Amino acid sequence: MKIAVIGGAGVRTVIFINGLLKRYKKLHIDEVVLYDIQEEKQKIIEKLCKHVVERNHEDLKVWAVSDPVEAITGADYIVTTLRVGGDHSRVVDETIALDLGVIGQETTGVGGFSMAVRTIPVLIEYCELIKKYAPDAWIFNFTNPSGLVTQALRSAGYDKIIGICDAPSSTKFRMAHDLGVEEDDLYVEFFGLNHLSWIRSVKKKGEEILPELLADDAFLQGVQEFSMFDPELLRSIGFLPNEYLYYYYHREKALENIKKSGATRGKTIENVNIQMMDELKHMDIDADPEGALQIFLYYMQVRENSYMSIESGLAKRPLLEKGQLEVPDGMGYAGVMLDCIEGMQSEKGKYLVLSVENNGSIPGLADEDVIETTCLVSKDGIHPVKVKEVPEHCYLLIRLIKMYEKLTVEAVKNKSKETAVQALMLHPLVNSYSLAKQLVDKYDEVYGGIFR
């Protein structure tokens, strides 16, 4: 079987390949083909990926191509992981938002809106190629904002697409570690939208433990995702939060921390990637592939170390030196995708958190609304768990953000600035017609008339 990665020059591709090495034979994967419009960067990432395969003495075939049709043709699974406009577009998105006094995070609110508007038309073009050259392939969308983009592609008629995000799986991993149990012994049930979800059930070996976890300050402080929140807040809502709810529940704190830091997350990432690629471009990777890999791993460590630290004000973790670094096991989005493929190939199935169509899971939402929820994935299909009752405070936020998403999709489809303003005006992190209009006008100007 063949996996194609559209956006193969992304830095996470190396970690994806390393994660795949542990399971590619079990999943019957023979080759991975990388495609990206950034050809120089892709050549570097291709060499690092091949070295990861060789240092593990495996025979998985990894290669890069410059033609998207060649990458897609005959693929069984396709990963879409794009950043339309490159790293600097994220800096632009965040800066415009901050200049107008709002949070511009790339998936939540204004930044996510701008990225989606640029990205959806490009992904639809790739989906048209996939429909022609790999009509039976499953598409795993990791392109941010994952939920909104997946909604757009589903609404455009592409039905073999699954939105994936590593936030829920990473949270479960850290919860299991803190509790001293194996991940397989912990059932963690999410519901909501991508980057707007809650944990409504935690079972350890079949026994419900969510109430005692909410009462345990040491646990709440010991898991990175929960440590940002006021414990009294979590006890009052009765759920454990997706970390991105920090932007809603502690909005003024997040905004103030970003302003005080002097640099947005996007600018931090841009600088890290520039430094990393500059070092890699000026060395002979063929002569010293392990040295190149250590440079890559060092900068990936710096990148991950900055995650949510600016917004939350939490201290960064200490860094390890080059030469001491191991390639991560691919738990992130690679792990979610591979777990999904494994589930699809099994009778018993696996419980995974995915962005899929609602189909009656959350009452009050349309069947075609894309939600992020725990699903049972098996040979019989992908079945979201049924959420019988949603508290009003969660339901209202879900409905509001889903309406924002659907209006954004409509605005892109019809190239309508008016609809785009309506979408942003509804978003809780904007919540103003005049602000929404200024933001849409500014993004339209900076990106050369995206609504024309």
- Contact at 8 Å (CB) between 300 and 11? yes
Backbone angles phi, psi at 351, to 5 degrees: -90, 125
Listed residue (431, 415, 81) closest to 423, CA to CA: 431
**Tokens 């063929």, residue located:** 286
Q: Which among 24, 93, 158, 166 is annotated as catalytic?
A: 166
Lookup: tokens for 354: 């995915």
HSE toward the beta carbon, residue 292, CA cutoff 13 A? 23
| 3 state SS of 329 | coil
Cα 244 from Cα 262, distance rounded (Å):
21
Three-state DSSP at 163 gives strand
351 part of the active site = no
Answer yes or no: is 127 a known binding residue: no
User: Please, which residues have CB within 8 angstroms of residue 128's CB and are 6 or more apart in sequence?
Assistant: none
Residue 362 burial class via C-beta count within 10 angstroms: exposed 0-12, middle 13-18, buried 19 and up: buried
CB contact at 8 A, 223 and 234: no
Exactly one of 24, 126, 187, 244 is catalytic; which is it?
Answer: 244
Do 334 and 16 contact (CB within 8 A), yes or no? Answer: yes
Rounded Cα gap, residues 182 and 224, in angstroms: 18
Type of residue found at 181: V
To which H or E segment does residue 272 belong?
A: helix 265-281
- Pairing state between β 77-80 and 61-65: unpaired
State yes or no: is 244 an active-site residue: yes
The helix-helix angle for 86-99 and 433-446 (nearest 10°) equals 150
Could you tell me which of 44, 36, 40 has the C-alpha nearest to residue 67? 36
Long-range CB pairs of 421-425, under 8 A, 24+ apart, other chains included = 423/113, 424/110, 424/113
Residue 165, marked binder: yes
Closest C-alpha among 274, 363, 290, 357 to residue 325? 290
The verdict on whether residue 340 carries a ligand-binding annotation is: no
Q: Is 195 annotated as a binding residue?
A: yes
Give the residue ranges of the annotated binding site: 90, 144, 165, 195
Give the residue ranges of the annotated binding site for Mn(2+): 165, 195
Give the residue ranges of the annotated binding site for substrate: 90, 144
Mind telling me the catalytic residues?
A: 166, 244
